[in-house]
Structure 1
Amino acid sequence: MVAWKSVLPLIFVAALMIYEEMVSIPSCEVVSRNDLDESGKEDSEEFKVMMVANLLLMGSEASYMNIYFRDSYMTKFFRKSVEILKPDMLVVLGDVSAKGWELTNNKWLSVLQQFQRMLGPFIGLPLHIVLGDRDIGECTRLNAKTISRIASTLPGLDSTGCSAFEVSNVSFVSLNAVAMLCGNNDLRFSVEKVIERESVDLQMHTKSTTEVTNESSKFSESSNNFGGRENAMSSGSGPVLLLHFPLHRTTSRNCGGVDALKSTLSHNPHENSRTFVNRGLAETGPYALLHTLPPNATEYIFQALKPR
């Protein structure tokens, strides 16, 4: 009996290690979506992106349990996920930190170092991190200087926390969704300017491409302000959109983009205004209840960027 009791701790530790090994295996299913080219053949060159969110890392403020258990689990999870999925790129869709908005610069850097340790040998994988509300604070705590400081430490982000980049001929636009939830503040207007700039660039690219392939086809409306006219590009022809908060979806679960949203907004003439600046996002409800971007913001993004 005494001998049995002496091995109980070893059994417990072994069971804990086996359990940690099992739960760290990603439960996602790898689905291959083979696109067909014009000849009807499968396209074997797929670009795979692994997306994670809400890591809520504590950095130098992490407790003993975080460092020796949670971090160990996360490290194994990343290793096994990358080995199984073999992604071409890693995207963190916000909240890499638990409370980045109140951390000093040194403490914020400790969060990034903690994340790098978790990635281990996969640190060289193309990486993009989207800003979340835990990273930069809720509406009442938004500070342009803090956001600029945090964004400067993350790959590719500008001072507003937005980015536009291309990997393997796939275009991405990353937006600071937290700022878009807030009222008429300078930061939100700066994000809108990023959307406008990307919309014009995309339309000009579409226009030049069309002129090369068909001289008789002209996109004369593409140079106009999209605040008064819809983007001339076809739906779904724009970049891949990266956001911390998801876009609004209608109750019918229609994924038809702007068309699905127009029926939702038609009952409120004030919401149907083409100008996003005057829509007053802060009046849509308490910040804590806004788990998706408002319908008007979603419509604006669809019209401007035509995201995939």
Structure 2
Amino acid sequence: MRRITKKILIFLLGLVFIGFYCEYLIYYVVILQCYWPKIETSHGSNQIIQAFILADTHLLGPYRGHWLDKWRREWQMHQAFQAIIRIHKPHVVFVLGDLFDEGEWTDNKQFKEYVSRFYKLFSVPSSIKMFVVVGNHDIGFHNRIRRGFAQRFSKYLKAPSVQHIVLKNNHFVLINSMALEGDSCNLCTEARKQIENVSEKLFKCLQNPVNCVDNNSTFNYSQPILMQHFPLYRESDSICTEPDAPPLPERNKLFRLKIDALSQEATNYLIKKIKPRAVFGGHTHHGCLVEHFYKESDGAKFLEYSVPSFSWRNRPNPKYMLATIAPDAYAVQKCGLPRESTIALTAVIMISILIGCLLTTRSFGRDYF
């Protein structure tokens, strides 16, 4: 009888370990397989930034989705995010929009609860900076933004429509994609004004280092990195050849401009004013790497990275990016998170092994004879 009790206890402890591994340790096992990319730079380590970039977390709100689905997805993203923070220890985190799935429908009380939940799930230590850009699910598409919703997001997430951030002489320009509609609305007018100011500041700094001053702090010029929610102008994702590109035939579906991607006019304007050396965006939930070349903008040539969704609700294999950035160089590494099917299969295999090990030892009934 004691042997039966012992095997039951071993079985229960085995189940606890399997649950612990599949719901906690597996994220560390997978994330440990990804590394910061290396770069060749003439600058010292004091001017190198390690950036963790993610997009489209789509936290469910009060209206859509089952509570169990909400709990499950938030648990997964929280475990993955915290494992990334602990293992990779980035200097900065960029979240490229659609933090929320129902931000455009929530009242002020619900939105405050949304924000509180976001910061609880994606908390970072004080030594790590985090910046976010707004997505269409956070405030709505341009023509559906309710009065005060853009300002509400900006206030609670500390994310104005245009942000110029300088980290170790690396310049980042974060843009509200919905503010690039091209009309004369207050949101678009203010964003255009801020983009002009950033452009002028960068140009003056490039012309004369004496002008590289902002809020009583000095910096050196380097070509900026542009971050926003929408992709730059492209007709579709048919040019995307990444392994995590949209599946066919979805890949060939034509984009709706100003909804699926920026317009050609808005893209040309940003390239002319910001002159980025790289662009990062989200929105499509899939990966894509596009090489841009603009003759009309002083021969601007750069790569655009579409960051896949970080949520298991949007893809079976969520992704994130690690970028090592210096003023004269950068490199990007795309990293995967465990598939849900892999987690389930791992649990089944481990349980089968556990049962097999217990059955191959002395049988339960043999102790009675």
Given that 2:85 and 2:124 are in contact with CA atoms closer than 8 Å, whether structure 1 keeps it comes out as: no
Q: Which runs of 5+ in 1 are unaligned?
A: 213-235, 254-283
1:96 offset after TM fit, Å? 0.8
Aligned with 2:225 (options 224, 233, 240): 240
Q: Which runs of 5+ in 2 are unaligned?
A: 213-220, 241-253, 278-369
- AA of the residue aligned to 1:32: P
Corresponding position: 1:73 with 2:64? no
Structure-2 change in CA distance of 1:198 and 1:118 (3 Å): same
Corresponding position: 1:49 with 2:46? no
3-state SS of 1:129 partner: strand
- AA of the residue aligned to 1:238: Q
Q: What is the aligned partner in structure 1 of residue 172 from structure 2? A: 172
Given that 2:59 and 2:70 are in contact with CA atoms closer than 8 Å, whether structure 1 keeps it comes out as: no
3-state SS of 2:196 partner: helix
1:33 offset after TM fit, Å? 2.6
**Comparing both chains, which one has the higher relative contact order based on Cα–Cα distances under 8 Å and sequence gaps of 6 or more?**
2
Given that 1:59 and 1:113 are in contact with CA atoms closer than 8 Å, whether structure 2 keeps it comes out as: no
Corresponding position: 1:126 with 2:129? yes
TM-score, scaled relative to structure 1 = 0.66
Q: What is the aligned partner in structure 1 of residue 149 from structure 2? A: 146
1:69 offset after TM fit, Å? 2.8
Within 5 A, what are the aligned runs for 1:1-308? Answer: 15-21=18-24, 24-25=27-28, 27=31, 29-37=34-42, 43-45=44-46, 46-58=48-60, 64-66=67-69, 68-120=71-123, 122=125, 125-155=128-158, 157-158=159-160, 161-181=161-181, 183=183, 185-209=185-209, 237-248=222-233, 286=256, 290-308=259-277
- AA of the residue aligned to 2:54: V
* Structure whose CA Rg is larger: 2
Given that 1:49 and 1:89 are in contact with CA atoms closer than 8 Å, whether structure 2 keeps it comes out as: yes
Q: Distance in 2 between matches of 1:144 and 1:113?
A: 22
- AA of the residue aligned to 1:57: L
Structure-2 change in CA distance of 1:31 and 1:95 (3 Å): same
1:23 offset after TM fit, Å? 5.2
**Percent same amino acid among aligned pairs?**
22
Q: Larger helix proportion, structure 1 or 2? A: 1
Given that 1:91 and 1:129 are in contact with CA atoms closer than 8 Å, whether structure 2 keeps it comes out as: yes
3-state SS of 1:48 partner: strand
1:16 offset after TM fit, Å? 4.6
3-state SS of 1:245 partner: coil
Q: Distance in 1 between matches of 2:255 and 2:56?
A: 23
Larger displacement relative to structure 2 (297-306 or 122-131)? 122-131
Cα offsets for 1:150-201 (capped at 9, x unmatched): 211112x33xx22222223222211111222465533223222221111111
